[in-house]
Amino acid sequence: MEIYLYLALFSPLVGSLFAALFTTKSKTLVAGVVPSLLLFTSFVSSSILLVHILNGGAPVHVEMMTWMATGDLYIPFGFVVDQVSVTMMMVVTIVSTVVHVYSIGYMDHDKSFNRFFAWLSAFVFSMLILVMSDNYAGLFIGWEGVGLCSWGLIGFWFHKESASWAANEAFIMNRIADLGMLIGIFLVYWNTGSLQYDHVFEAFKGLDVDTLALIGIFLFIGAMGKSAQFPLHTWLADAMEGPTPVSALIHAATMVTAGVYLVVRSNELYSLIPEIGLFIASLGAFVAIFAASMALVNRDMKRIIAYSTLSQLGYMFAAAGLGAYWVALFHLMAHAFFKALLFLGAGNVMHAMHDELDPFKMGGLGKTMKATMVMMTLASVALAGLFPLAGFFSKDAILEAAFVEHHYVIYSVLLFTAGLTAFYSFRLVALIFHGEERYTLFGIHPHEAYKFMLVAMSPLLLLAIIAGSLKMTYFEMVTAILPDIEYHIHSHVTFWIMTIGTQLFVVIAILYAYKKYTTIGMNVPDGTSETENTFMYKLLKNQYYIPYAYDEYIVKPYTKLSALFWTEIDQKVVDATVDGIAGVIYDSGEQTRDMQDGNLSTMLRWMVIGTIALLILAVMFGLTARYAHVLG
């Protein structure tokens, strides 16, 4: 089995390096095909491992080589394929294979085609390291690696100021969180003496709660960055500057879920500190509604999907925080499929619309882009959580978990968010595919994407539809290592009321959205209507003014302070002191050199003055000595 592990892990790396060879060359198809094939290999290997695990095989655990060893610290490159990581591996390899193939078409006309695949495969490799490592340090390698690749891919079109800015923002925001993560790792090391999961989890049992809480908090700070939880969420929306396949892979399906993975992976820790878990859940619920609210009014197709991702991440954290780790993981998986699909569909639309992102400038695209419309609609249905698509099962499980654990506030927030989700999802679908053909105003002639792109998307579609039915198989598998709590609402009546109620609520929201945004002559928001001038609308439109606040109260002061430090402190205080000391010495020379005025009389006088000065001292001392007995 180890060979499959290595195959799964390193195939993307080979693909990335292969593509990297061509980066300075002009577009070569082979640079896209080979990585895709290698990823497929990786996918196959992962599948074999999955089968192995599903058949009750022992987790595959390898230690490739030593990485760092000093003092008591010992960090190997160790990889483990167990129930959790194999799930992640499957998600990663499936989505990335699809995205790779899709990208061959999507990036067809880009001159940096080769570079794109180098980065993309490198990302997959990093992500696999992240999920497969058997220790926190290895996880951190992947953690930073995906950050790097995300930087490279967000800023892929680096000639755009906004893209490079967004890339840096993402990287730096992640770094802030990574510091927390790093501190968490330090805490783990100094309290357990190791970073290996099995060893660490064993040792956690003997630690006091305060330490554990500290560890839990700091690790979660890391997770917050990667998974763009409030208040470190702003980068995710800006990250949409990257090519759409990137958004699909990284900013929807895989990287952003790394935080969830971390919490799930550390479930033994968080199980011991339920208070922290509750906080995580609350934050997750908050982010869910918070992000969803911003998606309601946004006019950028990709951003809307990004907010939806954010919102769904909130769901996952809510689940994980409540101890429903398997549910979180399950939602993660399901979400990866339908959200990737949604993004890829959006990519198709963008292609058709010449990179236009404003859904208000589209409409009626369903006529020319049937396949895309179907896929996106289904994906939205799944997102909205309608039976029987994947979203229904996973989201419902989360709601149930919240309900069963008696966290009704969380439950109701999440429930309400489900409605919002349905609304904005179908707002989007409606605006893009239905209603008036507003794009004609802009002289665009949309066309459907390449066939093979659509074919490439189909596995995701399939999974988005059927993933829910795999729930029980999955449950049996992961609960081998995750807490196997089943969330059953004991009263059947309540269960049915809740389920049907939820479904109804969602359907109503969908219908409302559909109606509101397909009516002919619907007013396009242009800043004049009354709703647009309400406080709430503005608040939502400006993302609660958080980016503005960050810019105003963090970025600008930092820049100003930096300049101040440089010009005022470094140059005018620190350096000036040094130069000042030198200057004082030099100037005192300049000032006193007149003592040597070249006149012999002056020289003689100096001699006499010197002598007299000595004499005065002598007399003082002499008198003191002589009358010492008198004086005292």
Partner 1 sequence: MFEAVAFYLFAFLTIAMFYIVVTTKQALYALTALAAGMIFISAFFFILGAEFLGAIQIIVYTGAVMALYAFGMMFFDTTRDVKEAQGNKFIITGLATLAAVLVVLIVSAPIISENITAYYPALPEVGNTQEVGMVLFTKYLVPFEVAAVMLLVAMIAGIVLAGKKMDLSITLMNDAEIHDMKIDQKLDQHKKVLS
Partner 2 sequence: MLEPINVSMESLNVMTLAPMLIPVIGALFILVVDLFKSNLDKTLYVVLSLLFLLIDFGALVDSSGLFMQNGTLMGMFDVMLIDGLAILSQFIIVGASMLFIPLALTNKRFHEFSYPEFFALFLFMISGFQFMVATDNLILIFVGLETASLALYTLIAMHNRVKSFEAAVKYFTMGALAAGFYSFGAMIFYALTGSVEIGQIATTLAGNGYADLGFVLVAVTFLLASFSFKLSLVPFHTWAPDVYEGSSAAMAGYMSIVPKIAAFVVAMRLFEFLIHSGVVWLEVVLYILVVVTMTAANIWALVQTDVKRMLAYSSVSHAGFVMAAILIGSTQANSALFLYWVLFSFTNLGSFSMLWISRQKKLPDHQSSDHSYDKFAGMIHTAPIAATSMALFMLSLAGLPPFALFWGKMYMISSAVTSGYTVLALIMALNSAIAGYYYLKLIVYMFMKEPVVDNDGTVYASNATLALRFIIGFAAIATIFAFAVLNPTLEFITSFVYNSGY
Partner 3 sequence: MVDHILSILIFFPALAGMFGFMINKDSIRAYGVAVGVIEFALSLLLWFWFDGGVAGMQFMEQIPLLPSFGINYILGVDGISLFIIVLSAFITMIGIASLTETPNVKNMIVTLLFLQMTMVGVFSALDGIVFYVFWELSLVPMLYIIGAWGGPLRIYASIKFFLYTFAGSLVMLVGMLFMAYFYYQATGEWSFAILDWYRLILPENLQLWLFLAFFLGFAIKVPMFPFHTWLPYAHGQAPTIGSVILAAILLKMGTYAFIRFSLPMFPDASVALMTPIAIIAIIMIIYTAMVAFAQKDVKQVVAYSSISHMGVIIIGTFALNVEGISGSVFLMIAHGVVSGALFLLVGVIYDRRHTKLMSEFGGLAHVMPRYATIFGLMLMASVGLPLTINFVGEFLSLLGFYQQSHILTLLAGTAIIVGAIYMLAAYKKMFFGDVTKEENKNLPDVNKRELLALIPLSIITIWLGIYPKPVLEPINKSAEAIVQLMHDKSITDEAKMRIPSPLNKAQTSQTSSEGAH
Is 74 an interacting residue with respect to partner 3 (CB under 8 A)? no
583 interacts with partner 2 by CB under 8 A = no
What's the closest the beta carbon of residue 603 comes to partner 2, in angstroms? 4
Query: Which residues are CB-neighbours of 553 under 8 A, at least 6 positions away?
Result: none
Q: Please tell me whether residue 584 binds partner 3 under the rule CB under 8 A.
A: no
Q: Rounded CA gap, 165 and 162, in Å?
A: 5
Q: Residue 563, interface with partner 1 (CB under 8 A)?
A: no
- Contact between 617 and partner 3 by CB under 8 A: the answer reads no
Does residue 554 interact with partner 2 by CB under 8 A? no
Q: Which is nearer to partner 3, 231 or 622 (CB)?
A: 231
- In the numeric block, which tokens belong to residue 171? 């990287």
In whole angstroms, the minimum distance from the beta carbon of 582 to partner 2 comes to: 8
Which of partner 3, partner 1, partner 2, none does residue 607 bind to, with CB < 5 to 8 Å depending on kind? Answer: partner 2
If one asks whether residue 626 binds partner 2 (CB under 8 A), the answer comes out as: yes
**How far is it, in rounded angstroms, from Cα 464 to Cα 334?**
7
End-to-end CA distance of the chain: 98
Does residue 629 interact with partner 2 by CB under 8 A?
no
Q: Which does 71 bind (CB under 5 to 8 A by kind): partner 1, partner 3, partner 2, none?
A: partner 3
Among 618, 627, 630, 631, binds partner 1 (CB under 8 A): 618
Give the Cα separation of 55 and 3 in Å (integer): 18
* Residue 603 is a binding residue for partner 1 (CB under 8 A): no
Applying CB under 8 A, which of residues 595, 629, 630, 632 lies at the interface with partner 2?
595
Within 103-122, the residues that bind partner 1 by CB under 8 A are none
Q: What does the per-residue mask of binding to partner 3 show for 535-574, with x meaning CB under 8 A?
A: -----------------------xx-xxx-xxx-xx---x
Select the span of 118-126, 152-160, 188-196, 613-621 touching partner 1 (CB under 8 A).
613-621
Structure tokens belonging to residue 461: 């579609």
CA distance 95 to 288: 23
Alpha-helical segments (H) within 75-160? 83-106, 113-132, 136-154
**Binding-residue total with partner 3 (CB under 8 A):** 59
Among the candidate windows 71-79, 237-245, 440-448, 504-512, which touches partner 3 by CB under 8 A? 71-79
Is 626 a binding residue for partner 1 by CB under 8 A? The answer is yes
Which residue, 165 or 230, has its beta carbon nearer to partner 3? Answer: 165
CA distance 87 to 336: 12
* Tokens, residue 358: 């404003």
Please, which residues have CB within 8 angstroms of residue 127's CB and are 6 or more apart in sequence? 92, 96, 142, 145, 146, 254, 255, 258
CA distance 632 to 629: 5
Question: Can you point out the beta strands (E) in 269-366?
Answer: none
Residues 471-474: contacts with CB under 8 Å, at least 24 apart: 471/330, 471/393, 471/394, 471/397, 473/54, 474/87, 474/326, 474/330, 474/333
DSSP codes of every residue in 396-462: HHHHHHHHHTT-HHHHHHHHHHHHHHHHHHHHHHHHHHSS--GGGGGT----PPPHHHHHHHHHHHH
346 lies in the site for partner 3, by CB under 8 A = no
Are 410 and 322 spatial neighbours (Cβ–Cβ below 8 Å)?
yes
**What's the chain's length in residues?**
632
Residue 241 lies near partner 3 (rule: CB under 8 A) = no
* Residues near partner 3 (CB under 8 A): 23-24, 65-73, 137, 140-141, 143-145, 148, 151, 155, 158-159, 161, 164-165, 167-168, 171-172, 175-176, 178-179, 182-183, 185-187, 189-191, 193, 210-211, 558-559, 561-563, 565-567, 569-570, 574-575, 577-578, 582
* Residues near partner 2 (CB under 8 A): 582, 585-586, 588-590, 592-593, 595-596, 598, 600, 602-604, 606-611, 614-615, 617-619, 621-623, 625-626
* Residues near partner 1 (CB under 8 A): 601, 605, 608-609, 611-612, 615-616, 618-619, 622, 626
